[in-house]
């Protein structure tokens, strides 16, 4: 028994838009530096990412994202 599969060329793949927070480059550099060198900051980041980010100057966008 053979099965034929026809793929319509009119169907386009769904591509999700990437969602990223607007990080200031200075804050992003500070975050990476602390995550790679500071044990206390890593623990804080694991426990409460929002508090850890706020401690280095990151403020989420007004829309709550």
- Alpha helices, DSSP H, located in the chain: 25-37, 39-47, 49-55
Query: Does residue 57 sit within a domain?
Result: no
Query: Does residue 14 sit within a domain?
Result: no
Query: Does residue 30 sit within a domain?
Result: yes
Per-residue pLDDT band at 8 (split at 50, 70, 90): low
Is the pLDDT confidence value at 56 over 80? yes
Query: Does residue 13 sit within a domain?
Result: no
Helix or strand or coil: residue 61?
Answer: coil
pTM of the model: 0.61
Domain boundaries, position 31:
22-46
High-pLDDT (> 90) share of the chain, %: 49
């Amino acid at each position: 028994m053979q099965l034929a599969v026809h793929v319509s060329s009119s169907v386009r793949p769904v591509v999700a838009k990437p969602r990223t927070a607007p990080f200031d480059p200075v804050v992003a550099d500070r975050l990476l530096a602390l995550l790679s060198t500071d044990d206390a900051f890593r623990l804080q980041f694991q426990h409460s990412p929002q508090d850890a980010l706020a401690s280095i100057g990151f403020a989420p966008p007004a829309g709550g994202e």
